[in-house]
Amino acid sequence: MRQHPLGQTGLTISVPGLGCMGMSKFYGPADETECLDALAAALNLGYDFLDTADTYGLGHNETLLGRFLKGRRDRVVLATKFGIVRPYHSPDDSAKRRIDNTPAYLTAACEASLTRLGVETIDLYYCHRRNPETPLAEMIGAMARLVEQGKVRGLGLSEVSPETLRAAHAIHPIAAVQSEYSLWSRGAEDEMLQTCRDLDVTFVAYAPLGRGFLTGTLDPARLAADDFRRGNPRFQADALARNQRLLDGLAAVAARRNASSGQIALAWLVDRAPGVVPIPGTRRVARLAENAAAMDLALTPGEIAELDGLFPPGAAAGARYAEGGTAGIEVL
């Protein structure tokens, strides 16, 4: 498994890493035994970068990882996040969630995450979403104090603008920025990727497989009743029909390379934007191995150009999130 530096922290992380969100929420029911087995298999395959957040399953995801990490903490670079506060009585109602970046809240949230994870230090602590009502200097200052106290090693930001990244980095070094990036979500290419290179900040790409769509194996009609994608604009009838047509060209490239569509999508991302760390999520051991193997698929410049043409910026129909889910996202 290839490794990449995590900003200026001195840590390195596996490429790819593993997004753990789906092990608790948003993509239908998850079996804990299956998830724990998948985490063990991921370590055996060389994955050492695990990504979670306090809002995933209202703390369940961190608790699950805490169980897994017992006796394994030194083998993992652990990332979690604060900032999205969901009401416990209706956690799936995105319209009722709030974004909290206040120093008091993030300090308490860090303590709660440390307890659920069963660790003394979080390797990478992200602001999950920005609330401009809290001045950036106040938030970053409070996060920096967590570093000084040894509770956090590196600071991260998620779904921010290049301007916010530069301003935050001037206050305290930022180790990583996490945003959605894939063949059908290419906004990071506008300015953020170059800003990260300029500042020596690692770019972590979530949903690099388009929430499973780019694998070509997803049947939207069979999604679980509580699957987040049922309400996502890109999976709605008219948009979905247009997006399905994008998959034919991807499948053709995959067939020529004797690979899966998902592998080509991941290979495109790391070959087109060296230094980007994708964190595809899965609960299946076979998918873990498939995603890891994609890192060995070196695409030619011609293949990258072909995929760029098949998926030009803006090609995907529908917004990335429904309206209630855009709070705190600085660049849509």
pLDDT tens per residue across span 234-277: 999 899 999 999 999 999 999 999 999 999 999 999 999 999 99
CB atoms within 10 A of CB 119: 20
Structural domain contains residue 227? yes
pLDDT at residue 88, rounded to an integer: 59
* Number of domains, the chain: 1
Structural domain contains residue 330? no
Structural domain contains residue 270? yes
Which helix (H) or strand (E) covers residue 170, if one does? helix 162-171
Among 47, 56, 181, 321, the one annotated catalytic: 56
Residue 326 CA to residue 210 CA, distance in Å, equals 17
Residue 49 CA to residue 40 CA, distance in Å, equals 13
Structural domain contains residue 16? yes
pLDDT at residue 228, rounded to an integer: 83
pLDDT at residue 30, rounded to an integer: 84
Structural domain range at position 99: 2-325
Structural domain contains residue 195? yes
Q: Among candidates 114, 159, 175, 164, which has minimal Cα distance to 139?
A: 164
Residue 126 CA to residue 176 CA, distance in Å, equals 8
CATH of the domain at 36: 3.20.20.100
pLDDT at residue 93, rounded to an integer: 53
Residue 233 CA to residue 230 CA, distance in Å, equals 8
Q: Among candidates 68, 72, 8, which has minimal Cα distance to 33?
A: 68
pLDDT at residue 193, rounded to an integer: 98
Taking 70 as the pLDDT cut, the residues of the chain under it are 88-95
Q: For residue 206, indicate whether it is catalytic.
A: no
pLDDT at residue 92, rounded to an integer: 55
Sequence-ordered strand ranges (E) for the chain = 2-5, 12-15, 18-19, 49-51, 77-82, 84-85, 98-99, 122-127, 152-158, 174-180, 202-206, 276-278
Structural domain contains residue 331? no
pLDDT at residue 275, rounded to an integer: 92
The pair phi, psi for residue 181, each rounded to 5°, is -155, 125
> What type of residue is 25?
K
Structural domain contains residue 125? yes
Residue 327 CA to residue 305 CA, distance in Å, equals 34
Structural domain contains residue 332? no
Residues whose CB falls within 8 Å of the CB of residue 25, separated by 6 or more in sequence, listed in order:
56, 57, 60, 61, 228
pTM: 0.95
Instruction: Judge contact between 63 and 116, C-beta under 8 A.
Output: yes
pLDDT at residue 86, rounded to an integer: 82
